[in-house]
Chains A and B, each alone.
Chain A
Amino acid sequence: MLERLPLPSQFDRVIVMGSMLVVLIAAPIVLVLLALLIGDQISAPEFVFWLAAAVVVGGALGAVLLPNVVHAALSLVATLLGVAGIYLLLVSDFIALVQILVYGGGVVILLLFGLMLTNAQDDPVVTDGSQKPFAFVVGALIGGTFIAAILDAEFGSSAATVVAFEDFGARLFRDYLVPVIVVAVLLDIALTGAFVNARPDPPEPAETTEDATATPGGAS
């Protein structure tokens, strides 16, 4: 029974090939950044930022471009952990912790379950869309517009502020109490909806009751 499961060897291959690929791509970036750091071209926070940014962008590209769906999902993990690192750089510890907990612990597991339950790998044309060039043009246009707008804008220069956990909690549960309750209701509804949608259909009464002629009132 166990050897019929394809998981272990597949995961081994994923891990080995993924690690090799990551090392091949990441080594030059890390080396260049280290050289810049040692040569005092960039400060330590900048070093961490560029490292996290490389992880985020590389993982995002992998999640969007990789043809194997499990690879794409694992690539998403790298991106989300990199985003948590960005939050840490922005001195928002609590958001970083929530990011790791919710995304790394919950969302990615859910996505992997979804991938396995829907056999997405069995579909060879699953990632080959004829709309890819169009999608690339639109994505580049949107990204270019944002980048041009950001480069054009003037931001007031102020230092990053550290928010204590207590202040965060007090503000969340005092000033933002109503939104918190609304989100709680939303989570409740989403859970119920997911359950109702994913539940198997109730079997047809005629198919299940073999002796339907004997007890006609059994079906409801």
Chain B
Amino acid sequence: MIPLENFLLLSAVLFAIGFYGVLARRSAILILISVELMLAGVAINFVAFSTYLDGEAFSGLIFALFVITVAAAEVGLALGIVLRLYRERNTANVDAADELRW
């Protein structure tokens, strides 16, 4: 039997890698990819806890399903915004849209 900690450590590593990507990348789509990594890490956490500690209620599985759904909606919407940004600025870099930066 694989200990629960293994899955938690894997999801923590995945989350940290995704966090690094969000901060280090400049292209909006690559940032989206990194956000997907972070969401995958969170979903692993949900499923691991649900399977190991909450087998009767399995709320974590439902949560993981919702995480996947919301991630899909987020990617669709964000790509629309990125296309808009590309049409306006001719680049998909987030640096190009810094009017709101103080």
Contacts and interface: CB of A to CB of B under 8 A. Distances in A.
Interface in B41-95: 43-44, 47-48, 50-53, 55-56, 58, 61-62, 64-66, 68-77, 79-84, 86-87, 91-93
Contact of A187 (B50, B53, B69): B69
A131 B1 contact: no
A72 B33 contact: yes
A190 B74 contact: yes
Interface in A42-71: 45-46, 49, 53, 56-57, 60-61, 63-64, 69
Nearest to B71: A107
Contacts of B62: 171-172, 176, 179
A106 B72 CA distance: 8
B70 A183 contact: yes
B31 to A, nearest CB: 10
B19 A139 contact: yes
A215 interface: no
Contacts of A181: none
A179 B56 CA distance: 20
Q: How large is the interface on B (under 10, 10 to 19, 20 to 34, 35 or more residues)?
A: 35 or more
Contacts of A176: 62
Interface in A86-108: 86-87, 89-92, 94-95, 98-99, 102-103, 106-107
Main secondary structure of the interface of A (DSSP, over half): helix
A158 B53 contact: yes
A143 interface: yes
Nearest to A144: B16
Contact of B2 (A89, A102, A140): A89
A127 B26 contact: yes
Contacts of A197: 77, 80-81, 83-84
Contacts of B23: 129, 131, 134-135, 138-139
Given A57-B13, A69-B27, A90 B47 contact: yes
Interface string A153-176: 001111111010001100110001
A60 B11 CA distance: 11
A180 B67 CA distance: 12
A143 B84 contact: no
Given A64-B37, A138-B20, 14 more contacts: A46-B2, A83-B14, A90-B47, A118-B29, A120-B27, A126-B30, A131-B24, A143-B13, A143-B19, A155-B53, A156-B53, A163-B58, A179-B62, A198-B83
Interface of A: 45-46, 49, 53, 56-57, 60-61, 63-64, 69, 72-73, 76, 79-80, 83, 86-87, 89-92, 94-95, 98-99, 102-103, 106-107, 110-111, 113-115, 117-120, 123, 125-129, 131-132, 134-136, 138-140, 142-144, 146-147, 150-151, 155-161, 163, 167-168, 171-172, 176, 179, 183, 186-187, 190-191, 193-198, 200-201
